[in-house]
Chains A and B, each alone.
Chain A
Amino acid sequence: KAGVTQTPRYLIKTRGQQVTLSCSPISGHRSVSWYQQTPGQGLQFLFEYFSETQRNKGNFPGRFSGRQFSNSRSEMNVSTLELGDSALYLCASSLEWSRRGDTQYFGPGTRLTVL
């Protein structure tokens, strides 16, 4: 079974631009979560989607948004990029993320650099 895939793997943008990152979960997984990883803040939860609905959200500004499609693929968008948005963005998928015993599987991440 193919793992979680994320595209693109690397991205360079300038301040003020917007960016869209994509995540394809493991086949059959319906929950997709997004995390931001930076050296200073570590791993921080952004949001989680299940069946095209956002179920859970972390403490990030409204510039960070996401969506999930009917095939469970998910996209994350960041508008009006700031230097501090430079990070590794990780996507994780799981079957439902609400059943006891469920586990998240992570993709390789998208490295975003904002200049």
Chain B
Amino acid sequence: AQSVTQPDIHITVSEGASLELRCNYSYGATPYLFWYVQSPGQGLQLLLKYFSGDTLVQGIKGFEAEFKRSQSSFNLRKPSVHWSDAAEYFCAVGLSGGYQKVTFGTGTKLQVIP
């Protein structure tokens, strides 16, 4: 069965600093990979997704993620964090064929300090 690990429960960065959120997955075949963001009291918003092709994926709000098969990782990055980026971020993995049952990581809560 597939699984997702987000090793950092909570991260604090200064506004304007760079950000990297870690995500490691376990799955035998090529997975579908997603990053979602959730603001307090809200649903999940898709930031970006990787299905195939270019391993560097660009998303919304200036985020990008890189799929590294050798490291089973799909880390999320942003060069300069804004205060509005404070939220919880979820990495997710889905099966690569047929209808999907996506597995979510436990989330990383991002705090941005001025």
Contact = CB atoms under 8 A, between A and B. Distances in A.
A97 to B, nearest CB: 5
Interface range, A side: 20 to 34
Nearest to A45: B101
Nearest to B107: A42
Interface in B77-114: 90, 96-107
A90 interface: yes
Contacts of A81: none
Contact of B102 (A45, A50, A111): A45
A50 B90 CA distance: 25
A107 B101 contact: no
A77 B101 CA distance: 20
B46 interface: yes
A16 interface: no
A108 B101 contact: no
Contact of B36 (A4, A98, A106): A106
A90 B44 CA distance: 9
A43 interface: yes
6 contacts: A43-B107, A45-B102, A92-B44, A103-B46, A103-B49, A106-B45
